[in-house]
Amino acid sequence: MSNSSRKFEILNVRIDATDILSVCASLEHWIRTSAKVYVCIAPVSTLVECQGNKKYLDIVNNAAAVTPDGMPLVWVGKWKGFKNIRRTYGPDLMIAVCAEGQDKGYKHYFYGATPETCRLLEVNLKKRFPRMSIAGKFSPPFRDLSEEEDNQIVESINRANPDILWVGLGSPKQDYWMYYHRDRLNVPVMVGVGAAFDFLAGTKPQAPRWMQRSGLEWLFRFCCEPKRLWRRYLIGNSKFIFYLLKDCFRKNKERQ
């Protein structure tokens, strides 16, 4: 990455000090060079999940880029001296890449969400970007796939020959999926964007911009889906603060 070659660590996770324009430039480079990489768009929950899970930590740190989706990651980056770091919000990144890709001929493939969400996603994006090229889309069932089914999906994606594979399975599932399918898919770039499919399809509401900027998007999403998200936000956010404080105390002790 041009700007995001600068990395910093939070709880042993290497985060790119980047912004959306820099990520777009990196995606263009990886597409042009047929790089076969994956990108993790990391909220706070990703870092919490990495604690005590060595396999997942390795998967995230092996990504070509780990971008700051959560505002707390941006704040820590600024505190560490990366003043130009900006949040790389999944829906905003998708919009930026789709806009840029119209003239560059990018072919997009969408993997994840429900069939109706994928249908509305395609409709909305084509309305907004009439010249964008959508190579295909697939909504996997909410169960483990058989080996045969998984092979068929891989073959279907490879036949479609996309430049960018957007994966909307939610983390950590999408990160595991990208890691384990990276070598089998002839796709230059895979990007895990979580709930971006739902937001851009209009099947779930997005938080107001002021809440996004102030780090309160988690509260908006929790209020919209408390049964599904209470554990991630109420317990996960508390764990994140605990892990940060613990890490700070440990480092201060080592300096003494």
pLDDT the model gives residue 256:
65
b/e burial code for range 219-256 (CB count within 10 A of at least 16 → b)? eebbeeeeeebeebbeebbebbeebeeeeeeeeeeeee
**2: in domain:** no
**230: in domain:** no
Number of structural domains in the chain: 1
pLDDT the model gives residue 3:
43
Low-confidence ranges of the chain (pLDDT < 70): 1-5, 253, 256
**53: in domain:** yes
Q: Which domain holds residue 54?
A: 7-140+157-209
**59: in domain:** yes
**69: in domain:** yes
**67: in domain:** yes
pLDDT the model gives residue 20:
96
**222: in domain:** no
- Residue 107: what residue type? K
pLDDT tens, residue by residue, 118-175: 999 999 999 999 999 999 999 998 888 899 999 999 999 999 999 999 999 998 999 9
pTM: 0.91
